[in-house]
Amino acid sequence: MKCLLAFFCALFLCVSQIFAVSARLPKAETDGSIAVFITGNELGALQPCGCSGGQLGGLDRRAAVFNAAAKSRRLIIDTGSLVDGDSEQDLIKFNILLQAFGFLDYDLVNLTKEDVGITRNLGLLNGADSLPAMISAYWPSDANLPAGFTRNFDVGAKKLSVTVTCLDAKSGNLEKLKGLFVLPRTLPTFNILIVNEFKQDVIDTIRQGGLVDCLVYPGDSDRPRLVSKPPERPVVVAGGKFGKYVARLKISPKSAGPDTSGSLFDKGQGITESIDSYDVKFSAVPVAEELPRDDSLIQLYRVYQQLIKEAGLLEKQPRFILPNELIYVGSNACKSCHEYEYSKWSTKIHAHAYATLERVGSQFDPECIVCHVVGAEYESGFVSESKSSENLRNVGCENCHGPGSEHVKTAGSTKTSEPKADCDLCHTPENSANYAGNERQYFEKIIHWREPNSPGDVQ
Ligand code: HEC
Ligand code: HEC
Ligand code: HEC
Ligand code: HEC
């Protein structure tokens, strides 16, 4: 843990200033629009497992989504919930995600209550400056840390200011809300509020107050969606999950001429210059497989794999004890009596499942190993490369036929135990998109047994 922290210390020379206005004002572009990219609820998903084609997501592909907008014309925000718990693996992921946000030029990360807990446990609450900046509605009261962030953009000859702040939905009263924004607005300002959950009364309050132009809360589905109906204000966005999509708000000056879409903005309290001449368009951009991958993020994932290895997580996994004192004996133990089945199995893909993980460098990752070796969750099952026999690697005989100790000891007179065709334990929709509907074809590809009663069967 110590070396892990040391490794990342450099990263966290700190946390940011209240309403830090970026010194470098982005330069204007002809189209005049700016893009606000919103991610969040990664819940530890750094990269899709790659088990099956067509998977969305991956930090290394996110860069391509952001790079569709020039640096000076975009604001990149993460709404928090970086990881799904506080295990050692989660903490490693948390650090990696923050570092990835740096590489990806995030402007801002909003930390949830759980994120703040982790940040605090990792000793990362003490600095004055961080990249990206961090805001939270849950900072400990003794830490003088920001709940808001502002960045100004040049839009043609005009300026547009984007402000992001956060609130615990339970404390969503109007007075508290007012306190979160700089008023009066001295520039046309697009105010974004991040809340931890959807609450109608918060939205009603926001509507009355006319303070907030966009409300973002964590949604339930992978895909972010626009909840409000244009031109309703505020624009309400339910964020996505697992980094499969990026929500994008395109804020652009309306073209001259009569406006049919209606204004998304009216003059809120204290606005000295109106921003009702801006249009806002929402889209959910898929982080698709075809997108180019960014080298520094590919490297960062390798660092992650290395940290997982060094932390020895496989050896620390909790393991169940098998019933009836059964133990896993490994595929080689079946060979002597089932030579035919063994040799057939060895030529099929299940016998290479571990090598497949090695090929992608994930053989030390507890999240991967479960479906690629024998009995990873049990005592006597696969533990790790150095601690376990090679015969427990791969999807072996006992993944499907159950732990074989009794069967072997009694030379076959005790039946093997498990249902043989529980394929969907591993061939889940996420890990094997083509499995459902093609069960027969999958089944045929693994045939390693003879027709019943064929000559040479073990008797
Ligand atoms: C010492 C010899 C021996 C070893 C080692 C052995 N088996 Fe068997 N196995 C047999 C015999 C004999 C039968 C036939 C028993 C019968 O038909 O009643 C059998 C039957 C089976 C069957 C079909 C019947 C059933 O129990 O479901 C499966 C499946 C099987 N073995 C799997 C395995 C696996 C997996 C291993 C390794 C963990 C293994 N065997 C190791 C001798 C052995
Ligand atoms: C313990 C987890 C696990 C179980 C149970 C399992 N599989 Fe697999 N299966 C895998 C893994 C992992 C791979 C990928 C191996 C690789 O590519 O190296 C795979 C690959 C396959 C493939 C190759 C797919 C392709 O694209 O060519 C087939 C076919 C297959 N399994 C069929 C089955 C069937 C049928 C069952 C049930 C009788 C089953 N599997 C049960 C984990 C499992
Ligand atoms: C729930 C079980 C499960 C888990 C967990 C799992 N895999 Fe797999 N993996 C599979 C199955 C099943 C296949 C075969 C899919 C198919 O061909 O339909 C597979 C195939 C693969 C392949 C081969 C893909 C190909 O195109 O040949 C790779 C690589 C892979 N997995 C990597 C990983 C990594 C990395 C992780 C962890 C991040 C992981 N797996 C976690 C079940 C799993
Ligand atoms: C992916 C799952 C899977 C793996 C891995 C696997 N088997 Fe099987 N095995 C099956 C299924 C499914 C059947 C067919 C059962 C049926 O038709 O009822 C079967 C059939 C058999 C049979 C014939 C059973 C009978 O009743 O006649 C034997 C023996 C056997 N397997 C042994 C092995 C051995 C030994 C290994 C490892 C070298 C192995 N199997 C690996 C799933 C698997």
Q: pLDDT by residue (tens digit) across 256-308?
A: 433 333 333 333 333 333 345 678 899 999 999 999 999 999 999 999 999 99
Closest CA to 138 of 166, 113, 172, 167: 113
Find the mean pLDDT for residues 359-381.
Answer: 96
pLDDT at 140: 85
Find the mean pLDDT for residues 77-91.
Answer: 96
Q: Which ligand is nearest to the CA of 289?
A: 3
Query: What's the gap in Å between 412 CA and the centre of ligand 1?
Result: 4
Do the beta carbons of residue 286 and residue 245 sit within 8 Å? yes
The closest-lying atom of ligand 3 relative to the alpha carbon of residue 433 is 18
pLDDT digit string, tens, across residues 304-340: 999 999 999 999 999 999 998 999 999 999 999 999 9
Binding site membership of 338 for ligand 1 (Cβ less than 6 Å)? yes
pLDDT at 158: 76
Find the mean pLDDT for residues 22-46.
Answer: 73
The protein residue whose alpha carbon is closest to atom 18 in ligand 2 is 353
Query: What's the gap in Å between 247 CA and the centre of ligand 3?
Result: 28
What is the total residue count of the chain?
459
Q: Which long-range contacts (CB under 8 A, 24 or more apart) does 378-386 make?
A: 378/319, 378/320, 378/321, 378/322, 378/328, 378/403, 379/319, 379/320, 379/321, 379/322, 379/327, 380/322, 380/327, 380/328, 381/319, 381/328, 382/328, 383/314, 383/315, 383/317, 384/312, 384/314, 384/315
The closest-lying atom of ligand 4 relative to the alpha carbon of residue 350 is 5
Binding site membership of 341 for ligand 4 (Cβ less than 6 Å)? yes
pLDDT at 459: 44
pLDDT at 187: 73
Closest CA to 99 of 302, 344, 395, 340: 302
Tokens of 239: 């964020």
pLDDT at 172: 61
Query: What's the gap in Å between 449 CA and the centre of ligand 4?
Result: 6
Amino acid at 122: L
pLDDT at 277: 60
Distance in angstroms (rounded) separating the CA atoms of residues 252 and 233: 16
Tokens of 299: 């490297």
Calculate ∠ Cα 229-253-205, nearest 5°. Answer: 40
pLDDT at 8: 45
Find the mean pLDDT for residues 161-187.
Answer: 76
Closest CA to 210 of 183, 242, 237: 183
The protein residue whose alpha carbon is closest to atom 38 in ligand 3 is 49
pLDDT at 382: 97
pLDDT at 42: 97
The protein residue whose alpha carbon is closest to atom 29 in ligand 2 is 442
Do the beta carbons of residue 245 and residue 284 sit within 8 Å? yes
Burial 70-103 (b: 16+ CB within 10 A, else e): eeebbbbbbbbbbbbeeebbbbbbbbbbbbbbbb
Query: What's the gap in Å between 416 CA and the centre of ligand 1?
Result: 7
Q: How many CB atoms lie within 10 A of CB 148?
A: 20
Binding site membership of 349 for ligand 2 (Cβ less than 6 Å)? yes
Q: Which ligand is nearest to the CA of 360?
A: 3
The protein residue whose alpha carbon is closest to atom 34 in ligand 4 is 397
Residue 455: burial class (beta carbons within 10 Å; 0-12, 13-18, 19+): exposed
Binding site membership of 374 for ligand 1 (Cβ less than 6 Å)? no
pLDDT at 263: 32
Binding site membership of 93 for ligand 3 (Cβ less than 6 Å)? no
Distance in angstroms (rounded) separating the CA atoms of residues 67 and 296: 14
Do the beta carbons of residue 77 and residue 34 sit within 8 Å? no
Query: What's the gap in Å between 409 CA and the centre of ligand 2?
Result: 28
pLDDT digit string, tens, across residues 183-232: 666 677 889 999 999 888 888 887 777 778 899 999 999 999 999 888 78
pLDDT digit string, tens, across residues 388-425: 999 999 999 999 999 999 999 998 888 887 777 789 99
Query: What's the gap in Å between 432 CA and the centre of ligand 3?
Result: 7
Binding site membership of 255 for ligand 1 (Cβ less than 6 Å)? no
Query: What's the gap in Å between 346 CA and the centre of ligand 2?
Result: 13
Do the beta carbons of residue 428 and residue 353 sit within 8 Å? no
Q: Which ligand is nearest to the CA of 347?
A: 4
Distance in angstroms (rounded) separating the CA atoms of residues 2 and 236: 42
Q: How confident is the model at residue 19 (pLDDT cuts 50, 70, 90)?
A: very low
Binding site membership of 427 for ligand 2 (Cβ less than 6 Å)? yes
Do the beta carbons of residue 25 and residue 162 sit within 8 Å? no
Query: What's the gap in Å between 87 CA and the centre of ligand 3?
Result: 23
Tokens of 407: 């069967």
pLDDT at 129: 55
Distance in angstroms (rounded) separating the CA atoms of residues 375 and 388: 11
What percentage of the chain has pLDDT greater than the value 70?
Answer: 83
The protein residue whose alpha carbon is closest to atom 37 in ligand 3 is 368
Q: How confident is the model at residue 9 (pLDDT cuts 50, 70, 90)?
A: very low
pLDDT at 378: 95
Q: How confident is the model at residue 52 (pLDDT cuts 50, 70, 90)?
A: very high
Distance in angstroms (rounded) separating the CA atoms of residues 353 and 370: 11
- On average, the pLDDT of the chain sits at 84
Lowest mean pLDDT, pick from 103-117, 118-132, 143-157, 233-247: 118-132
